[in-house]
């Protein structure tokens, strides 16, 4: 959909599946690069406007609440419309409220990495655009942190901590591809980290530049999921079939679990919970610890954890029972479609 927003109609139509014209996409992509400790950060630059303080901004497409709550059945909810500024449903207020809670942190980090002014959001129901909204990085800072000073400190602290985590695990499990899975533990105010060091059988052996090196091992990479040989991917197939496939863990993988604890001090005072910096004179410090836990059956516990992650968004839902909120959204969408067809 972002392609549609930045292309002329004749050019965009070439990218539609039904088009018989072979698309020729020669669009030059623009990126900005920066470094932070051991990181090399790259951000794609979508758009620019000289009227903005930082000139560039990001382009985002955002499905309305009816589509987000019922993605598998989006055709039933694509009639949903935004019809007012404020209100529980069918309003910009509802979409903005959900956006703050679910996507603002990601958007905020992206604009900071790209040194962008903000994001331009296009709300849609997959069939039509419902409205647009420009949200500056400064506004996101106010919603997330209270002000930009606290936002800058939080962003920098997060990158520093991630840098330390990656340095720790790569030093302890060297020369292997790693899968990192995080989980927040609210009662203990800590972060659990599972690290899976993939075994050599899970990766293709790539040759080096030496002409005398051995040929590429063409054995397919072991899949983490055991997919059916001939899956039915038609619209009438069971849409939950892939979600029902349990993740299997390679017994040769190196599995480790860590606990990460962070403490924040403002003006030498330990802060428990939320905080906000009021001026540049405030002294803010973080200290953290990364300790490895002893796990009696790491592969078994890790498998349970990964499959719990896999079913996180479907947990508590029944295939045969539609939640009442989703039913209401479907009914609203149906009424909107009927009203549109009558006009």
Q: Are 31 and 45 in contact (CB under 8 A)?
A: yes
Residue 239 lies in a domain: no
Structural domains counted in the chain: 1
CB 280 within 8 A of CB 149: yes
Q: What is the DSSP letter of 214?
A: P
Q: Is residue 176 part of a domain?
A: no
Residue 114 lies in a domain: yes
Measured CA angle at 82 (ends 80, 84), to 5 deg: 140
Closest CA to 244 of 263, 261, 231: 231
Tokens found for residue 210: 């030496």
Residue 226 lies in a domain: no
The rounded distance, in Å, linking the Cα atoms of 287 and 170 is 21
Q: What is the pLDDT of residues 287-309, one digit of tens each?
A: 999 999 999 999 999 999 999 98
Domain membership of residue 153 (yes or no) is: no
Helix (H, G, I), strand (E, B) or coil at 160: helix
Nearest to 79 by CA among 122, 131, 127: 127
Lowest mean pLDDT among 4-13, 37-46, 161-170, 197-206: 197-206
User: Is residue 107 in some structural domain?
Assistant: yes
Query: What is d(CA 37, CA 157) in angstroms, rounded to the nearest whole number?
Result: 12
Is the separation of the CB atoms in 255 and 299 below 8 Å?
Answer: yes
Residue 133 lies in a domain: yes
Q: How far apart are CA 14 and CA 281, in angstroms?
A: 56
Domain limits for position 87: 2-145
74 sits in which H/E element: helix 74-77
Pairing relationship of beta strands 56-63 and 269-271 according to DSSP bridges = unpaired
Q: Residue 13: which pLDDT band, with cuts at 50, 70 and 90?
A: confident
pLDDT per residue as tens digits for the range 98-140: 999 999 999 999 999 999 999 999 999 999 999 999 999 999 9
Does a structural domain hold residue 214?
A: no
Q: Identify whether the C-beta of residue 201 lies closer than 8 Å to the C-beta of residue 250.
A: yes
Distance CA 211, CA 208 (A): 8
Beta-ladder partners of 265: 270, 285
Q: Tell me: the pLDDT tens digits for 251-281?
A: 999 999 999 999 999 999 999 888 999 999 9
More confident residue, 188 or 56: 56
pLDDT of 130-153, one tens digit each?
Answer: 999 999 999 999 999 999 999 999
Count of alpha carbons within 13 Å of 12, Cβ hemisphere only? Answer: 9
Which pLDDT does position 239 carry in this prediction?
46
Sign of the CA dihedral running 264, 266, 269, 274: negative
């Amino acid at each position: 959909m972002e392609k549609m927003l930045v292309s002329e109609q004749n050019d965009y139509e070439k990218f539609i599946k039904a088009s018989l014209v072979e698309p020729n996409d020669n669009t030059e992509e623009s990126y900005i690069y920066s470094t932070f400790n051991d990181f090399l950060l790259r951000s794609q630059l979508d758009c620019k406007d000289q009227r903005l303080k930082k000139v560039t901004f990001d382009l985002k497409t955002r499905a309305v609440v009816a589509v987000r709550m019922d993605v598998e059945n989006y055709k039933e909810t694509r009639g949903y419309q935004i019809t007012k500024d404020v209100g529980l449903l069918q309003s910009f207020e509802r979409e903005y409220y959900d956006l703050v809670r679910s996507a603002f942190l990601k958007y905020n980090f992206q604009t900071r990495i790209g040194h962008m002014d903000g994001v331009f959001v296009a709300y849609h129901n997959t069939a039509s655009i419902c409205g647009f909204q420009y949200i500056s990085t400064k506004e996101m800072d106010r919603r997330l942190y209270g002000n930009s000073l606290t936002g800058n400190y939080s962003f920098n602290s997060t990158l520093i901590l991630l840098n330390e985590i990656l340095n720790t695990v790569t030093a302890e499990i060297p020369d292997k591809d790693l899968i990192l899975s995080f989980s927040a533990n609210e009662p203990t105010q800590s972060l659990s980290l599972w690290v899976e060091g993939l075994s050599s059988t899970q990766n293709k052996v790539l040759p080096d530049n030496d002409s005398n090196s051995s040929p590429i091992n063409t054995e397919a990479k072991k899949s983490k999921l055991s997919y059916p040989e001939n899956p039915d991917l038609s619209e009438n197939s069971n849409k939950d079939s892939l979600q029902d496939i349990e993740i299997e863990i390679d017994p040769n993988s190196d599995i480790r679990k860590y606990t990460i604890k962070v403490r924040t001090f403002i003006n030498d005072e330990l802060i428990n919970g939320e905080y906000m910096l009021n001026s540049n004179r405030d002294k803010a410090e973080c200290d953290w610890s990364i300790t490895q836990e002893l796990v009696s059956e790491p592969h078994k516990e890790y498998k349970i954890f990964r499959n719990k992650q896999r079913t996180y968004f479907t947990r508590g839902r029944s295939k045969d029972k539609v939640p009442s909120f989703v039913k209401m959204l479907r009914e609203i969408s149906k009424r909107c479609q009927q009203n549109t067809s009558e006009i």
